[in-house]
Chain A
Amino acid sequence: MSRKRKQPQPESPDTDIEGLLAPDAPSDDSEPEQPKAPESAKAEAPKPETFVVAKGRSVTTRARGIVSSGQAVTAQDFAGGEARLQELATAGYLTGS
């Protein structure tokens, strides 16, 4: 009876259990981070300021009729656009949100 000789298994690089359990280490071949937008670019495209109608006030709008207190309005609601928003805010009809 011949005895079959067990062939030695080649060592696989991914069998290192210690390596698997270890926390991820920073690797050099990781994807490069997206470059952050420079601060100046942020200033060029600011998020539009949102306004809501002030308490106890209301305003007529281009397409939504009369908008009452607490409801949000945008420049699209006024023929005068952004400038009108600022005027209404100055007059106390709108507050920034």
Chain B
Amino acid sequence: MSDTSTKRMLNAYLEQSAQKPGFFTQFFQSPERNFFTQETVEIDIRRSGNQIAPVLTTLGADLHRTENRKFVNKEFKPAVYGEEFGLGVKDAMKRQLGQDPFQDLGYLRALQTAFTAEMTERETMIRGGIELQASQVLRTGTLSLPGVTGATAFTLDYQPKSTHFPGAETDWDESNVTTRVKDVRSLCNVIWEDGNYRPKYLVFGEKALISWLADTEVKEQIRKDGTGVGEQVPPQLREGGVFHGRVSVGQFQLEMWSAPGIYSAISNGASTKYLGDWEVMVVSEGARLDLVFGDIPILAADPRVSALSLGRVSSSGGRIDLITNAWVTPNGRNIFGSVEARPLCIPTAIDTFGTLNAKVS
């Protein structure tokens, strides 16, 4: 019986939620093997190389012996997110958002609706936390996550190569700057040489995009007569980002994107962009970046509200893994729910992306 209720509840939740991963989160993959049942997660990192096999002088010559490429097994402890909320049982009898008042308002149904709405909000917050992780990894190769007070509560340095996060030779807001394309080309070349994956995505902060599109060399590529090697299209909202067209940079054809995502800073509530105004990110196509989830042990759900507690909700495509719970106060007047997650964005192929700071001073 509880299984049936849980399934019905799960369907209701997923229908109502239907949330999609954030723009930067989508660069990270979450296959089933990325959902762990332990507190820590382990990832094998194998660096690529550009070595080629030398020829041997004769058939009988000694074979060329090479060292095995090293697997670097790294263990990480994912960050912990946990959101709690409460519902008054009498409040649950009131009409809820989207509920048809002419239908039978069953007690459990009303509770489920209210509970689902609260869970959805908490999921959104946790997804925001994951998006912040993803953006920080791609911008800096490190994590520095705020805690409840806004102060940094979780740090992790993946030790990226510093050449993947350069400052620009000339600030892009200078009136006579001519180095924009060269800056991006330099970054693409470094990523190609180190990471062995072709750079494909060029993601701009707002002001960097305006500066880029005003560049003479770029304008020459995207000229409207159709003879340029690039193209600019009207901004298209796609997958949480905005697509602007394509451009050639050196030996690479890049998609131009901007990332308008904003979150409220925990410390002061200020609107903060996931990607800085003057940041220019380059990400390779097909590079392996992992979003993993650790488990959170919870005792058996309260049998009185077992239908409200979904347990662990995981979705590879949705790049989410939530551990939910529900319980009732001893006096039976209030129901509490919780949504927890232990996500961690890991740049498994750490040499396949980089971010230029286009305005240093």
Contact = CB atoms under 8 A, between A and B. Distances in A.
Interface in B321-361: 356, 360-361
Contact of A78 (B165, B169, B182): B169
Interface in A50-97: 53, 55-62, 65-66, 68-69, 77-80, 84, 87-88, 90-91, 93
A56 B162 contact: yes
Nearest to B179: A79
Contacts of B165: 57-58
Nearest to B174: A80
Contact of B167 (A55, A58, A80): A58
Contact of B166 (A58, A62, A80): A58
A73 B161 CA distance: 19
B316 interface: no
Interface in B293-308: none
A53 B162 CA distance: 10
Given A65-B186, A65-B190, A66-B187, A60 B166 contact: yes
Interface residues of A, number: 23
Of listed B165, B166, B179, B186, residue having the most chain A CB within 10 A: B166
A78 B187 CA distance: 17
Given A57-B162, A59-B166, A66-B166, A87 B186 contact: no
B221 interface: no
Nearest to B189: A65
B356 A60 contact: yes
Nearest to B178: A79
Contact of B190 (A66, A80, A90, A93): A66
B163 interface: yes
A52 to B, nearest CB: 12
A93 B179 CA distance: 18
B360 A60 contact: no
A82 B186 CA distance: 22
Interface in A17-69: 53, 55-62, 65-66, 68-69
A60 B162 contact: no
A55 B163 CA distance: 11
B345 to A, nearest CB: 20
Contacts of A57: 162, 165-167
A71 B74 CA distance: 30
B162 A58 contact: yes
Nearest to B176: A79
B167 A91 contact: yes
Contacts of B161: 68
Nearest to A86: B361
A93 B195 CA distance: 24
Closest 5 CB pairs of A and B: A87-B361, A58-B166, A60-B169, A58-B163, A68-B163
Given A88-B167, A88-B360, 5 more contacts: A56-B162, A58-B162, A58-B163, A59-B169, A65-B189
10 contacts: A56-B162, A57-B162, A58-B164, A60-B179, A60-B182, A68-B162, A78-B169, A79-B179, A87-B171, A87-B361
